[in-house]
Amino acid sequence: MKLPRLILASGSPRRAEILTSVGWEFTKDSADLDETERPGEKPEDYVRRLAQEKAAAVAEKYDAALVLGADTTVVIDERIIGKPVDLADAKRMLEMLSGRWHEVLTGVALINKNPKSEIRNPKSIVGLQRTRVKFAPLTAAEIDFLAENGDPLDKAGAYAVQAQAALFIEGIEGDYWNVVGLPISLVYEMVKEIS
């Protein structure tokens, strides 16, 4: 079995690590987009839209490519919690998550620009992975520890499940790799569908 080469429309080191860990060959070419939520946009629609926009922006640069776009966010009380703007914001987010279940949503988009295809427009599909995560109740000292040592500023929800936050995760329902940043089994199923 040979996995088709991908172009990863993301600068995320975690997504790159996941692809590398399963032996998937890829090139990184990240898209610089405005990731502002639209008024009334549901979290599921938000991550799907951004994944699609990232893939489309990168696909425009290539004549032939299989482009993967993804976007991950954390949702609690039906509200999107993006990446914190500073340490105080990271601590606020961690306080919200303390002792509670939340959802991690990842939108995944694939665009197949196959030059051999008789179809003039590239094929594209968009998927969604949803995982529930429960944090243990966190003390103020634990929140400070996570915010100051967990490199929270480039992570949705201000934590990395595979790093310091692992000390405080009581449960995960669903795809662990989704929480890290890329639901790799969903990507594989989508690649089979679109290739």
Q: For this structure, is 71 an active site residue?
A: yes
Q: Does residue 127 lie in a domain region?
A: yes
pTM of the model: 0.93
Q: How far apart are CA 170 and CA 94, in angstroms?
A: 14
Q: Does residue 1 lie in a domain region?
A: no
Of the chain, the end-to-end C-alpha distance in Å amounts to 14
**Res 154: pLDDT:** 86
| Range(s) of the domain holding residue 185 | 6-194
**Res 114: pLDDT:** 74
Number of domains, the chain: 1
Phi, psi torsion values for 170, nearest 5 degrees: -90, -25
**Res 150: pLDDT:** 83
Closest C-alpha to 68, from 54, 83, 88: 54
Given the residues 29, 34, 63, 71, select the one marked as catalytic. Answer: 71
Q: Does residue 108 lie in a domain region?
A: yes
Q: Does residue 87 lie in a domain region?
A: yes
Task: Find the CATH number of the domain harbouring 18.
Answer: 3.90.950.10
Could you read off the pLDDT tens digit of each residue along the chain, which spans 195 residues? 889 999 999 999 999 999 999 999 999 999 889 989 999 999 999 999 999 999 999 999 998 999 999 999 999 999 999 899 999 999 999 999 999 999 999 999 999 987 665 555 678 999 999 999 999 999 999 999 999 998 898 899 999 999 999 999 999 999 999 999 999 999 999 999 998
